[in-house]
Amino acid sequence: MIAECGHYALVLALALALVQGVVPFIGARRNDAALMGVGEGTATGQLVFIGAAFAALSWAYVVSDFSVLNVIQNSHSSKPLIYKLTGVWGNHEGSMLLWVLILAVFGAAVAVFGRNLPPVLKADVLAVQGWIGAAFLIFILFASNPFVRVAPAPFEGQDLNPLLQDPGLAVHPPLLYLGYVGFSIAFAFAVAALIEGRIDAAWARWVRPWTLGAWIFLTLGIAMGSYWAYYELGWGGFWFWDPVENASLMPWLAGTALLHSALVMEKREALKVWTVLLAILTFSFSLLGTFLVRSGVLTSVHAFAVDPLRGSFILVILALFVGGSLTLYAARASSLRQGGLFAPISREGALVLNNLLLTTAAATVFVGTLYPLALEALTGGKISVGAPFFNATFGPLAMALLIAVPFGPLLAWKRGDLFWAAQRLWFAAGAALLGGAGTWLYERGGPALAPLGFALGLFVLVGAFAELVERTRLFRIPLGDSLRRARGLPRAQWGSAFAHAGLGITLMGIVAATSWSAEQIEALKPGGTIAVAGKELTLDSIGPRHAENYVDLAARFTIREGGTVVGHVESAKRTFAARQMTTTEAGLVSFGPSQLYVSLGDVQDDGSIAVRVQWKSWVLLIWGGALFMAFGGVLSLADRRLRVGAPKRARNAIPVPAE
């Protein structure tokens, strides 16, 4: 009965989405306040009904209702409660339900927090949100219904894929979807602006916090996914250039570009047409990502067993929204008037360069991801485009961008002075060169480019704070005055410094982990030792260990350095009873930002076990940098200027509800 209620709630939500797509839109054309107001009610209504459907599915999982097909396929009565809950979105149908739930959350947020939006803009934005919601609800109801029943119900479920029975599943998909779907707001604003044929700085001021919020979630989601793959898949890589990873990287790159171009538009009323296009492209990349992940057209870690109907269905949605919005853009973009002038060397110019490089980088990822599909469709030839391609194309573009990053914030609006900016960066450049030379002496070996890459990361990290040093006149006036100035700086300035610094940190981590890591594989018996990067691991014991729904074959090691014990680590092969499937539970020990990564292979005929020990130099910096970026985003979001968010022209500003 609960499942039927959930199903019915989804149908009601679809009806509301259709109303939301039509009524406020007509209201906006007729300037009818009553019709435009309908959008608010339907948006909150959608959230309520989709929330109810999601709760119903979660309930079916919690009580292990094996008359629901989705629960049979992805759950098991002996599964721990947390994985029963996260298992709700650990499958195709449930994850699509999570997708529309998050869409509904954002739609309702616009309805509730957008009280001081111009009514016509708000009605149009909600209408576009309604179309997106309706499209995906139709997809769920007709091609991926999670509430399908089975009679007779089996006694036991088939369990969730063991790789997914991990806390990572609780966080990674929701964060990623908050990012993907959050960009739908920027998209809706862009389409609404095109429909109205009017756009101004206030528009950018409205779009920026939503985009920033989505960007923070996407950054965290990607980093979380990368860390999860690193420890769970057992081979210790942090990025595979897997099509699905690329699918999340493309909206991230476009979204980052959007954040920066919206800044130009807000401050200087320039780049309007381009910003609108970026908003459309960013969400298009999100939709493309959804298509790539959910259709299974590309071989990937994330592919579920697939029904071809679903792929075609999402492809139609993709074509409708991307094609429709780009057509609208082509027809209406010329009606948006261009704004302020600026010299090529200026803050605006730097942000244009940032946009150029980011979108070009996104384009190379796009080509690399879809080229195999296109080639197979055209010639039938099957190829794989892997890391070498992306290193050769994405790499140089990213390097060019990173070199430019510290300069940008030091250039003035309208007309900047490159030489002056360069003078401010002497310290950062010096620190980078010293640091690069230092690591080269310390690490020895590795590719010749590695110390340079590491130095570039340091340059970005130190250079990120150059603007703050300048603003606070640090070391030139008494420290107390500097601190007072630092407190007075807008939070957005701190935010961008932290986000840029995070970029540098991540780069340092990537360079170090790919260049100075080491690994050893050895077949060991208890008492045997294996050495890597100056650490010696002794296998103390191997033995089984039982838990709720799996059995571990656990190996315990003692780590010694120069004869003294510096730690212990345990690594396991975990066999899940329900699916008889084995996963590698890697053992990780951190030494500062570096990690030892121990994974087990098969037991050999003579009773020894294959052990692979990897030394991952500075690897934690990769995700640490992403945390910095997200923290920068949060700081920026907390800036008063964004929080007030009210357009300047509003004569009597209506107070925004406290957050």
Q: Which of 167, 396, 544, 607 binds other proteins (CB under 8 A)?
A: 396
- What is the C-alpha separation between 597 and 588, in angstroms, rounded? 5
Q: How many residues bind other proteins (CB under 8 A)?
A: 56
Q: Among residues 318 and 598, whose Cβ is nearest to other proteins? A: 598
Q: Is 334 in the site for other proteins (CB under 8 A)?
A: no
Question: CB–CB of 227/623 below 8 Å?
Answer: yes
Query: What part of residues 155-174 is at the interface with other proteins (CB under 8 A)?
Result: 161, 163
Q: 614 forms bridges with which residues in the sheet? A: 519, 597
- Binding residues for other proteins restricted to 470-529, rule: CB under 8 A: 521-523
Amino acid at 508: M
CB of 85 to other proteins, least distance (A): 20
Nearer to other proteins by C-beta: 388 or 480? 388
Q: What's the CA gap between 207 and 189, in Å, rounded?
A: 7
**Bridge partners of residue 616, in order along the sequence:** 595
**Three-state DSSP class for 538?**
strand
Name the segment binding other proteins (CB under 8 A); options: 98-106, 202-210, 384-392, 427-435.
384-392
Minimum Å gap between C-beta 616 and other proteins is 16
543 binds other proteins (CB under 8 A): no
In the shown chain, the binding pattern of residues 336 to 375 toward other proteins, with x for contact by CB under 8 A and - for none, equals -----xxxx-------xx--xx--x--xx--xx--x----
Comparison of 605 and 659: residue with beta carbon closer to other proteins: 605
Asked whether position 377 contacts other proteins by CB under 8 A, the answer is: no
Spell 528-547 as b/e; 16+ CB within 10 A means b: eebebbebbbbbeebeeeee
* Region near other proteins per CB under 8 A, out of 145-153, 299-307, 441-449, 483-491: 299-307
Site for other proteins contains 604 (CB under 8 A): yes
Integer Cα distance of 208 and 331 in angstroms:
25
| Contact (Cβ atoms closer than 8 angstroms) between residue 95 and residue 89 | yes
610 in contact with other proteins (CB under 8 A): yes
DSSP conformation class of 118: -
556 binding other proteins? (CB under 8 A): no
Question: Rule CB under 8 A: is residue 414 a binding residue for other proteins?
Answer: no
Q: Residue 41: is it exposed, middle or buried by C-beta count within 10 angstroms (0-12/13-18/19+)?
A: middle
Torsion of CA 73, 77, 80, 83, to 10 degrees: 20
Q: Which of 20, 86, 219, 583 binds other proteins (CB under 8 A)?
A: 583
Kindly report the length of the chain.
659
Query: Residue 315 interacts with other proteins (CB under 8 A)?
Result: no
Measured from the CB of residue 103, what is the shortest distance to other proteins in angstroms?
Answer: 27
Q: Say how far apart CA 623 and CA 477 lie, in whole Å.
A: 36
Q: Calculate ∠ Cα 25-128-14, nearest 5°.
A: 95
Output 384 or 652, the one with its CB closest to other proteins. 384
What residues from 229 to 258 belong to the interface with other proteins (CB under 8 A)?
233-235
**Of the candidates 605, 352, 640, which has an alpha carbon nearest to the alpha carbon of residue 490?**
640
Q: Is 520 exposed, middle or buried (0-12, 13-18, 19+ CB in 10 A)?
A: middle
Query: Residues in the site for other proteins, rule: CB under 8 A?
Result: 161, 163, 233-235, 296-299, 301, 303-305, 341-344, 352-353, 356-357, 360, 363-364, 367-368, 371, 381-386, 388-389, 392-393, 396-397, 521-523, 573, 579, 581-584, 599-602, 604-605, 610, 612
